[in-house]
């Protein structure tokens, strides 16, 4: 299933987006759902999840600012303060007339979705959060890994000879070891651009990714969670280490109509490791929302 694609102007920047539609389902349109990816990735990695959801929804996903084919403001000042991630999401929904729809977000995408649901509830009918980056105010080192993640992003190799080289190298890295092969290849092929010298370069620079990590505590999202009025599903991977499993349970308890669920045999990157399980959880949770 190949998605349609386009661009919208939102919050002063241009966002690239994809829409997966079920061309064979006999429907001109289906209810929309919006998917938000994690830091360092791009909308196209939702492909296997979106293909499953497209039986019930028109599935929208966009490249976060600085990622994929969206505009890339320089990693300076407050360009990557997380208030902009929320404002981008709101602007995207406004540009496409998306109100009162299910929104599912992974990691930083989940944090943006939660903040929008808390502050502008008219946009969100159901909320699915997979390990959102939302921490209590008292959450401090050694658990706080912002500096480590930012340093790692800045050191990341950006230029490669070909997509196969990326796949082979990433397959050996712990964070990517459980990724489905087709999703890893999507990352290698769609998450890069071809340079003038013929080599491939990752679309999200290490400096931009680092800036997003460094600003991950820039909103009071934890304090806003009790203001979320829509039903919310907070998910975590069975194999994700501390502090995520108990933290996700706390987040679910702070949301008045929240519940927690676990994806077996998966870690923090479950949407890329077990997309079929993530899609089924979303379908089950949104069963009466379509």
Report the pLDDT value the prediction gives residue 141, as an integer from 0 to 100: 53
Cβ(257)–Cβ(230) below 8 Å = yes
Least confident window among 10-14, 32-36, 114-118, 133-137? 133-137
Indicate the DSSP class of residue 279.
H
Taking the CA atoms of 256, 258, 259 and 262 in sequence, report the sign of the dihedral they define: negative
Q: For each of the domains in the chain, give its residue range(s) and CATH number, in order of start.
A: 4-141+220-285 (3.40.50.1820)
The side-by-side arrangement of strands in the sheet containing 4-10 is: 4-10, 13-20, 58-62, 32-36, 101-106, 124-130, 232-237, 258-263
Question: Look-up: residue for tokens 């105010």?
Answer: 137
pLDDT in tens, 193-246: 999 999 999 999 999 999 999 999 899 999 999 999 999 999 999 999 888 899
Strand partners of residue 258: 232
Reported pTM: 0.95
List Cβ neighbours of 248 (8 Å cut-off, separation of 6 or more). Answer: 131, 234, 235, 236, 260
Which tokens sit at 39? 């830091």
pLDDT in tens, 105-137: 999 999 999 999 999 999 999 999 999 999 998
Report the pLDDT value the prediction gives residue 28, as an integer from 0 to 100: 59
Compute the distance between CA of residue 177 and CA of residue 159 in angstroms, rounded to an integer.
21
Cβ(43)–Cβ(34) below 8 Å = no
């Amino acid at each position: 299933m190949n998605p349609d694609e386009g661009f919208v102007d939102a919050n002063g920047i241009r966002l690239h987006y994809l829409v997966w539609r079920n061309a064979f389902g006999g429907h001109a349109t289906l209810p929309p759902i919006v998917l938000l990816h994690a830091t360092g990735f791009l909308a196209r990695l939702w492909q296997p999840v979106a293909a499953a959801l497209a039986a019930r929804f028109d599935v929208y996903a966009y490249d976060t600012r600085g990622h994929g084919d969206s505009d890339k403001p320089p990693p300076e000042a407050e360009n990557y303060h997380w208030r902009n991630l929320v404002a981008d999401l709101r602007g995207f929904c406004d540009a496409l007339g998306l109100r009162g729809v299910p929104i599912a977000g992974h990691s930083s995408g989940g944090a943006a979705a939660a903040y929008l649901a808390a502050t502008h509830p008219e946009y969100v009918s159901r909320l699915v959060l997979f390990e959102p980056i939302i921490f209590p105010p008292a959450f401090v080192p050694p658990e706080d890994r912002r500096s480590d993640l930012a340093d790692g992003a800045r050191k990341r190799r950006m230029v490669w000879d070909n997509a196969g080289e990326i796949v082979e190298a990433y397959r050996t890295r712990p964070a990517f070891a459980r990724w489905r092969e087709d999703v890893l290849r999507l990352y290698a092929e769609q998450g890069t651009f071809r340079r003038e010298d013929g080599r491939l370069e990752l679309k999200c620079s290490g400096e931009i990714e680092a800036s997003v990590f460094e600003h991950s505590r820039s909103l009071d999202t934890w304090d806003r969670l009790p203001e979320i009025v829509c039903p919310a599903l907070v998910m975590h991977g069975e194999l994700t280490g501390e502090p995520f499993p108990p933290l996700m349970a706390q987040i679910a308890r702070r949301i008045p109509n929240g519940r927690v669920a676990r994806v077996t045999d998966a870690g923090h990157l479950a949407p890329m490791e077990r997309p079929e399980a993530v899609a089924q959880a979303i379908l089950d949770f949104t069963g009466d929302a379509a």
